[in-house]
Amino acid sequence: MESRVKDAVALFESGYNCAQSVFVAYADLFGMDKETAKRLSSPMGAGMGRMREVCGTVSAMALLAGLEGGNTDPENEEAKREIYETVRRLSGEFKKRHGTIICRELLGIDGMEESAAPSLRTKEYYASRPCSKFVASAAEIVERLLLEKRECCKNL
């Protein structure tokens, strides 16, 4: 499989939110159709509902980790530990690269946005926001830390 980092960035730069861009780029590898992937990941954008909390790209990595190896048995403590370790590893790599996983800190803004309405996507928006870089980074992390062992993705 070829790298999908550029695909994730292209999704973002075509108007999808940060979480959707990362999640949709890889969800088909787990048998999920694009429309379901878009819906499932849509609330996670802009730090979850534009509250500027955990970066949507980090949330998307966690969702993909769940598809890859999430726990389905409430009594399986080992499986719970394993998925939490995976999420910590993915998030830790993002934090190592960018200093934080918190959306507002990544963007240099204070607190939650007043409005839930998204910003208009203009040339100025993309020029002033580093989000494309975070989408690319999260996609690279997914490929390197989550998917590289999968049969479909050994050539990444």
Q: 86: pLDDT confidence band, cut at 50, 70 and 90?
A: very high
**pTM of the predicted protein model:** 0.94
Quick one: which of 118, 123, 138 has its CA closest to 52?
A: 118
Query: Domain containing 48: what range?
Result: 5-148
Answer whether residue 155 is part of any domain. no
Answer whether residue 154 is part of any domain. no
Which residues are CB-neighbours of 155 under 8 A, at least 6 positions away?
A: 1, 2
Answer whether residue 27 is part of any domain. yes
Answer whether residue 156 is part of any domain. no
Answer whether residue 108 is part of any domain. yes
pLDDT digits (tens, 9 = 90+) for 3-27: 999 999 999 999 999 999 999 999 9
Q: Is the pLDDT of residue 72 over 80?
A: yes
Answer whether residue 32 is part of any domain. yes
